[in-house]
Amino acid sequence: MDETYRVKPGHKIKLSDYDPEDITQFSGDKKDAKARLAELVQKLGELQEVLYAEHKHKILVVLQALDTGGKDGTIRAVFNGVNPQGVHVASFKVPTPEELDHDFLWRIHAQVPGKGDLVIYNRSHYEDVLVVRVHQLVPEDVWRKRYAEIRSFERMLAEEGTTILKFYLNISKDEQKKRLQERLDDPKKRWKFNPEDLKERALWDDYASAYQDAINETSTKWAPWYVIPANHNWYRNLVVASVIVQALEGLNLQYPEPAEALDKIVIP
């Protein structure tokens, strides 16, 4: 799964070529998928423990999606087995006045992982080439130069030991309609419905173009994008978990050696 949905650096994609309904990389049924996800969640928990203990590597997971794309659901499903110590979810909403007084990466940089940490961005610095672009909050010459600034920022993080994994949770417009309707129909989900979501939905094509350009401009060797089919929650979770586990396994994490030999110590 690692390479199937990864956007190769320099390879220009069309999001329309990616099927949000795709489930081809898993041959079992939902029951099998649930069992496999449980295995991956357990493995991720084990790897995260070593990551924290080793205190060497840093992991940054970026989740981006259109409304109802499943960012929150992915976090709940994939990371429910990790130790909260060493794991942090950073959620980036509308910038505050203080944040707007600084450069667009100021609030982002403050939340990057330290050694041994795993940080999940629920939305991210990419809002400044997405929402800002679609709603024309700044001139084009401002947001367009941010692609290069983002590439440089992420390269600096990577060179400082950060493994960066960026996921675009790709849902269809019909699926979004279904999910918005479910929020209206379910009293337990109505709190999540915002009438402003309908205004954003009307800009679907504009957002699709903005996401496509952002992915094409910033999927690099050091910070790749993965376009994840997200119409089926079970498959979305399975793919994201698989990619993260593979990335952590590739780091050859090791528990640190004790400061001194412990075999002669006797607990009184």
Per-residue pLDDT tens over the stretch 166-210: 999 999 999 999 999 999 999 988 998 888 889 999 999 999 999
Q: How many CB atoms lie within 10 A of CB 9?
A: 14
78-137 tens-digit pLDDT: 999 999 999 999 999 999 999 999 999 999 999 999 999 999 999 999 999 999 999 999
Establish if 196 belongs to a structural domain: yes
What is the β-pairing status of strands 225-229 and 87-91? unpaired
Establish if 73 belongs to a structural domain: yes
pLDDT of residue 2: 66
Task: Give mean pLDDT, residues 222-242.
Answer: 97
pLDDT of residue 119: 98
Establish if 203 belongs to a structural domain: yes
Q: Is the pTM of this model over 0.75?
A: yes
Worst-scoring range by mean pLDDT, 22-31, 44-53, 55-64?
Answer: 22-31
Specify the CATH number for the domain of residue 183.
3.40.50.300
Range of the domain at 104: 15-249
Establish if 214 belongs to a structural domain: yes
Establish if 266 belongs to a structural domain: no
Q: How many residues does the chain have?
A: 268
The count of domains in the chain is: 1
Provide the terminal-to-terminal Cα distance of the chain, rounded to the nearest Å.
51
pLDDT of residue 118: 98
Task: Give mean pLDDT, residues 4-20.
Answer: 95
